[in-house]
Chain A
Amino acid sequence: MLVLNDVHKTYQMGETQVLALRGVSLELPPAQLSVIMGHSGSGKSTLMHLAGCLDVPTSGSVEYGGLDLTTLSSRERADFRSSEVGFVFQKYNLVGNLTALENVALPLLLRNATTKQAHARAREALDLVGLQDRTTHRPAKLSGGEQQRVAIARALVNDPTMILADEPTGNLDTVTGDRILELLSQFRADDKIVLVVTHNPEIAETADLVVYLRDGRVESQQFQEVAR
C-alpha cells in the first residue's frame, strides 16, 4: 500500500512560487489500477514523481509498506526506484544510443547483474511485450507503440512492486494505446500497484480507482468495479 499524507509540493520558478500539490492524501492499494485525472497543471505528474521517489514533498509524508520515503537519502531513493518502481513516460524516455535490449537491461546493469544475466532477463521482458524480434533495434528504428512497449519492458525488468505511468498512451494512436493499456492492466494480477496519470477518460473506465485532481487538491476519488 502506498500512502500519501497531506502532501504539499511547492516549486520555485524564478521569483514565482508554484503550489503544485496542496495537501493531497491518498491510499493506493496493490493489485489495482489507479488512475489520476485532471487538467494540465493540476499536479498529476508531480504526484506520480513523489509516489515513485523521483522527488520529495515540501511537506507531508509518502509511505510505502510502513517506510516513510521522505526520510530516505538520495542514494536510498535511487535504490528504492531501482528495486520497487517501474516508470513509463509519455515520451518513452529511451536512451537513443542503446538498443531495445540494452535499454531494457539498463536498470539491471546499474545494479550487480552481469551483462549476460541482464540481457537474459531483458529478453524475457521484451518477449512479454511482444518485441522479441526487435531486440537489436535502436529507439529511432522503432514505432511509437514499439518504443512504449520497450519502456514497459524496462519498467518490468526489475520486477518492481509498482508501475507508474505518465500519459502512457498520450503519443499513440487509439489501437496502439489500447494495447498498451491492456498490458498495464495485466500487472494488477501480479499484486502490483499500477498508477496511471492520464487525460484519457477511456482509461478511467477500466480503473479500480479514479482520482480527480484540481489545482493541487484531490477533488474526488472513486472506486469502481471493473471486469478483469
Chain B
Amino acid sequence: MKLNLFRLALKNIRSRRTRSWLTILGVLVGVTAVVALLSIGTGVQEAVLQQFEDIGYDIILISPMHAGGTAPGAMGGFMPGSTADGRFGGQMPTQPDFNSSSPGTFSPENLGGSSSEDETGDGQFDQMREALARTASSSLDTELLLTQVPQLIEAGTLGTQIQPVDTGTTSGFLRVSTPSLDFLEAFPSVLGGFEIASGSFFTNTTENQVIVGVRSAELLRMSVGDSISINNIPFTVIGILEASDQSSDEDEGSDSVLSGQGLAQNLGSGNSADLLLRGLTNTDDSLFVLHERASNVLAGRTMSAVTITRVESGASISETKDAINVAIGQQDATGTPISIQEVADEIQGTLSLIETVLASIAAVALIVGGVGLMNTMYTSVLERTREIGILKSVGARDGQVMTLFLIDSGLMGLIGGVLGLILGSILSLLGTRLLGPSLGVGSFSPIIDAWLVGGVLVFSFVLGALSGVWPAWRASRLNPVDALAAE
C-alpha cells in the first residue's frame, strides 16, 4: 500500500515538472553548500592531523618563547607594516621574484608585492636585523637536556634565519634553516624528509657547507660545488635536496606566501603549530646550514631556534613537559614545551569551530529551501483539493492522504538531497584543488564518508517531509464533500 502511495506521489511530482524542479532546486542549493563545506572542512582537518601524525605525537617541541606566547623581541611588535595577526603588508623579505624587470637582484624593493621606498628602506631592514638578533635565545643544550629529563630519548635543534644571500649574479634575502646533526638524524620527518637529490650530506662541522632546497636551487641557478655568500660569509653548495611532497602541488605564488609571510607569522605570533605546518615542513625554499656551524659563523642571527625532543614510548607527555620546564630553568634558558598532541588539538578545535560556523551558514540556505518546499506543498494542496476529494470518495483514509503528501514533499527533499550531494561533491573536489595550496596543507581530498552521505539523504528527506507536514495535515482533514465541490 505504501509502495502504491509512493508511486502516486512520484506521478504527481512528474506531472508538475517545472514547479517540482524549482522546489527541488531550493533544497539542492542548501544541500550543496552543506556537503561542500563539511567535506572540505573535514578534509582539511584530516590533512592537518595527518601532517601531525607524520611528525609523531611523541614529540615535544620547545619553542624559544615565554609561556605567554611572545618570543623575546617578538617581531609583531615592531615590524613595519605588520598587522594584528602578524601578517606583513609586503615588506617582509620573501621569495625573490626572478622574473622581475631586474633579474640580477632580489633586493627588498622587488620582493613580495608593492612597497614604497619609505616603507622598505635600509633603516627598516637594519631595525629588523637588530630585532632578529634580539630573538636569538640562548639555545638549550640538548645533550644536557637528555640527561636532565630521562623520559626523552632524542633531541635536536632547528633554527631559522633570514639572511642576505649573494650568488655573484643575484642577491637578496632568503630563509636559512640551521638544523643540528642530532635533529637531522632523529627528526627528518619534521621537515617532511631530508633526502639528497644530488651532491652529498654534510661531511663536517668545520667547513662552510650549505645544502639547498630544490626550488631555491632553481631560483638561484645553483648546482653542487657552486659558491654562495650568506651574510657575506662564503659557503659551498654540497647538496641539493629532493623536492618535498608538498612542493608538487603548490604553485609559485603560494610558495612565496609560505616562505615569506608564513615565516613572518611564525615569528610574529609565536604560533608553534603554524611554525610546524608552514615553516618546518617546507624544505624546498630553504638553504640548510648545520646548526653547529651556523652558531659559529652566523652567530647572533638565529631568529627562532626550536628544540625538538622525542619522548620514550609509554612515558607521560605532561610529566615529561614538567620535567622539561624544570630543566629549562636549570639551564637558565627560556622556552616553552608544547606537545604535538596539544598543537594538533588546538588546530583541530579551531578548524572544527570554523567548520561549524560555515556549516551553520549553509544550513540557513537549507532551511530557506525547506520553506520553499512548504510553500509548494501548501499551493499543491490548494490546487489538488478536488483530487483529495476524489481519493476520499474512493476510500482513501485521512492517514493515507497525509502520507501521500508527505511522501510527495519528502521525495522532493530527497531528490534535492541526492543532487545536492553530487553537486556538493564535485564542488568540494574542485574546492580542495584550489584551497589546498593556499591553506598550506598541500594536496588533500574532501572527506565524503558514509555518515555524510547517509546524513544528508536522511536529513533532506526529513526536511522535505517536515515541510510537508502542515500542508499534508490540512489535506487529510478536508471534508470530502467540500473537497469534491472545489473548482
Contact = CB atoms under 8 A, between A and B. Distances in A.
Interface of A: 49, 52, 54-55, 74-75, 78-79, 81-83, 87, 89, 93-98, 102, 106-107, 109-112, 115, 118, 154, 158
B484 A89 contact: yes
Contacts of A94: 390
A81 B399 contact: no
21 contacts: A52-B393, A54-B392, A54-B481, A55-B481, A74-B398, A75-B399, A78-B392, A81-B393, A82-B394, A82-B395, A87-B393, A93-B389, A93-B484, A98-B11, A102-B11, A107-B394, A107-B395, A110-B394, A110-B400, A115-B3, A115-B4
Contacts of A95: 387, 390-391
Nearest to B480: A54
Nearest to A46: B481
Interface string B161-173: 0000000000000
A81 B484 contact: no
Contacts of B399: 75
B367 to A, nearest CB: 30
Contacts of A54: 392-393, 480-481, 484
Nearest to A158: B395
A20 to B, nearest CB: 11
Contact of B397 (A75, A83, A98, A118): A75
B8 interface: yes
A152 B397 CA distance: 21
Contacts of B396: 78, 110
A22 B13 CA distance: 44
Given A54-B480, A110-B1, A115-B4, A97 B397 contact: no
Nearest to B479: A55
B386 interface: yes
Interface of B: 1, 3-4, 7-8, 11-12, 14-15, 386-387, 389-400, 479-481, 484
Contacts, number: 74
Nearest to B1: A112
Contact of A78 (B14, B395, B481): B395
A108 to B, nearest CB: 9
A220 B4 CA distance: 46
Nearest to B487: A91
A111 B393 contact: no
Contact of A110 (B4, B12, B14, B386): B4
Contacts of B8: 109
A111 B395 contact: yes
B276 to A, nearest CB: 63
A112 B3 CA distance: 10
A163 to B, nearest CB: 13
B223 to A, nearest CB: 77
Contacts of B12: 97
Given A97-B15, A98-B11, A109-B4, A81 B395 contact: yes
Given A102-B11, A109-B1, A115-B7, 6 more contacts: A78-B392, A82-B394, A83-B395, A89-B393, A97-B15, A112-B1
A189 B253 CA distance: 91
A119 B360 CA distance: 48
A83 B397 CA distance: 13
A87 B394 contact: yes
A79 B484 CA distance: 18
B62 to A, nearest CB: 74
Nearest to A155: B394
